[in-house]
Amino acid sequence: MAIESFDDPTADFILRSSLPATDFHVHRLLLSLSSPFFDQMLSLPQPSPKELARVPIVEVSETPQTLQLLLQFIYPVPNPIIDDDLDTLILVLHAAIKYDVLPAIDGLRSQLVSEHYLKQSPTRIYAIASRYELEEEAKLASKHTLGINILDAPLSEELRYISAFSYHRLLALHHTRAKAAQGLLRLRDDVKCMECDGTYGAFSEGPKWWLDFRRRAAEELGVRPTTEVVFGMEFLSQSFQQVGCRKCPLSLLQSWSFLEELKRRIDELPATV
Ligand SMILES: [Zn+2]
């Protein structure tokens, strides 16, 4: 008999799921060892000898799927990997936290911040982590939100449950980092263009490509304060395609070390809440 089927006749306790009601025959000892919640619940009412004859049933509000996954973290079977269904992961995490199932909380916390989920739904992960006060996960997720315009991100159900404090912290991170990154967009003295430098009278603001790049980069960093887009070849090359100076492409290439330094300084700005 597979242990995952939860119909072991030696089980001494039944957890009954909702929607639909399904019985999971479980072992008190394993539940007690994994969860202070169950430990306390199971140690409270000592069944009388008469009651011992039947296995006690506790009804829970979780679905069979959620309960099954949660119990797999408790039993000596491989931990379930929920890597392509964030909704399910959230339900199981919620149950794990509700019942204080320590091995499940640990396993699910690390799955929550898998690369896949962070890339796909960073704002949602941030909201979930904030809701459950998972500080490390919230920090990691906040970093991944930098590449998206959070005010444009789709509304997620999880936002209902996070505090204004947590949301404000995220907006403040974006705002502060955007301002700081924009402040770093300053030209180094040695960056020149042989053709268009000095066309602004005695005072040169820099080559045309730079003026165009600075304007567009400031705008882009204002909504996505990360270097991913602005230092991409596509974004950079627009700056000499649009300004119409023959020598600007050469100037830009010769300024590569300046651009790399600029990118590094922006990357070094605080990136988490
Ligand atoms: Zn030029």
CA distance 72 to 74: 5
| Residues near ion ligand 1 (Cβ under 5 Å) | 193, 195-196, 207-208, 245, 247-248
Domain, as residue range, for 193: 184-267
In-domain check, residue 200: yes
Work out the pLDDT band at 1, boundaries 50, 70, 90: very low
In-domain check, residue 120: no
Q: How far is the CA of 177 from the centre of ligand 1 (A)?
A: 30
Q: Which residues pair with 14 in a beta bridge?
A: 25, 57
The answer to whether the peptide bond before residue 20 is cis (omega within 30 degrees of 0) is yes
* Structure confidence by residue, pLDDT tens digits, 7-32: 777 777 888 888 888 888 888 888 88
The helix/strand/coil state of 29 is helix
Q: How far is the CA of 180 from the centre of ligand 1 (A)?
A: 27
In-domain check, residue 261: yes
Residues 259, 223 contacting (CB under 8 angstroms):
no
Strand residues in the chain grouped as ranges (E): 13-16, 23-26, 57-59
Report the number of distinct structural domains present in the chain.
1
Q: How far is the CA of 122 from the centre of ligand 1 (A)?
A: 40
Q: How far is the CA of 246 from the centre of ligand 1 (A)?
A: 6
Q: How are beta strands 23-26 and 57-59 bridged, if at all?
A: unpaired
In-domain check, residue 136: no
In-domain check, residue 238: yes
In-domain check, residue 168: no
CA distance 256 to 131: 43
* Structure confidence by residue, pLDDT tens digits, 68-98: 999 998 888 888 888 888 999 999 999 999 9
The helix/strand/coil state of 246 is coil
In-domain check, residue 163: no
pTM above 0.85, yes or no: no
